[in-house]
Amino acid sequence: MAEFRRQIVELVRAGRDPRDLARRDLAREFEPSAQAIRNWVAQADRTEGGRAAKAETLTAAEREELTRLRREVRQLRLERDILSKAAAWFAREIGAVPSGSSGS
């Protein structure tokens, strides 16, 4: 099935008019819907960083990196908050900060 999709995407890109009319012709000839073909071409563009991909559309690798970086930022913020609270606690314990002050 993946090979079939790749071939349809190649047909769309290889000189067949990229308008909906060409996709409808391919849909009649090969049986997937015109919308399915549109989706396959868009996915291939995103995955391959293809010529039709918009500047704001991310490739699969970029999406994975973004997810990883967001997870890392969330973890770093959690660690920062823990360290901040620990520093405030230790400061109160040694008397550097009066116990009635500080919003932590």
pLDDT one-digit tens code per residue, 10-28 = 877 776 554 555 666 666 6
Inform me whether the pLDDT recorded for 60 exceeds 80: yes
Inform me whether the pLDDT recorded for 72 exceeds 90: yes
First to last CA, the chain: 58
**81 — pLDDT class (breaks 50, 70, 90):** very high
Q: Which residue has the tokens 């609270």?
A: 85
pTM: 0.39
Q: Percentage of residues in the chain with pLDDT exceeding 90?
A: 26
| Measured distance CA(73)–CA(94) in Å, rounded | 31
Q: Cα dihedral angle (58, 62, 63, 68), rounded to 10 degrees?
A: -160
The pLDDT mean for the chain works out to 78
| Measured distance CA(66)–CA(39) in Å, rounded | 23
**38 — pLDDT class (breaks 50, 70, 90):** confident
Inform me whether the pLDDT recorded for 101 exceeds 60: no
Lowest-pLDDT range, 34-38, 67-71, 72-76, 89-93? 34-38
